[in-house]
Amino acid sequence: MLGRLNHVALVVPDLQAACAHYRDVLGANVSAPQSLAEHGVTVAFIDVGNTKIELLEPFGEGSTILPFLAKNPSGGMHHVCYEVDDIRAARDQLIAGGARVLGDGEPRIGAHGKPVLFLHPKDFFGTLIELEQV
């Protein structure tokens, strides 16, 4: 079911500062920030060749990552994203195996313009999992 690791997501308190730090200190190629109001985040991506690092900053008062940032004011790792060929088939297989899909269970369009779902971290040893259809 799982394909390659698409990205590792890091919540940061200041996206501009994080982008500048990755660019200036590590020499990373950082994308322009993109606001995703429907997900309550602003994102930027760092391409590291074999995968990406996603930097996330809260967008708006209802951002789902605000509680994470309140518990981790300096930021930290938020989730890992794996690619799947068929997100609905993957969802159905995971549910049949006892995994919980967050939200209403229907895929939403993510930052890459592709369908995504999130899986409950308690079902995956404390790690929030995002699945993205490729």
Q: Please report which confidence band the pLDDT of residue 13 belongs to, taking 50, 70 and 90 as the band edges.
A: very high
Please report the DSSP string for 109-129 in residue order. E-TTSSEEEEE-GGGTTT-EE
Considering the chain, what is the average pLDDT of its residues?
A: 96
Task: Say what the pTM is.
Answer: 0.94
d(CA 80, CA 119): 10
pLDDT of residue 59: 96
pLDDT at site 131: 98
pLDDT given at position 113: 94
**Confidence band (pLDDT; 50, 70, 90) for 128?**
very high
User: Which domains are seen in the chain, by residue range?
Assistant: 5-133 (3.10.180.10)
Residue 7: what pLDDT?
98
Q: Which residues are catalytic?
A: 130
pLDDT band at 29 (very low <50, low <70, confident <90, very high): very high
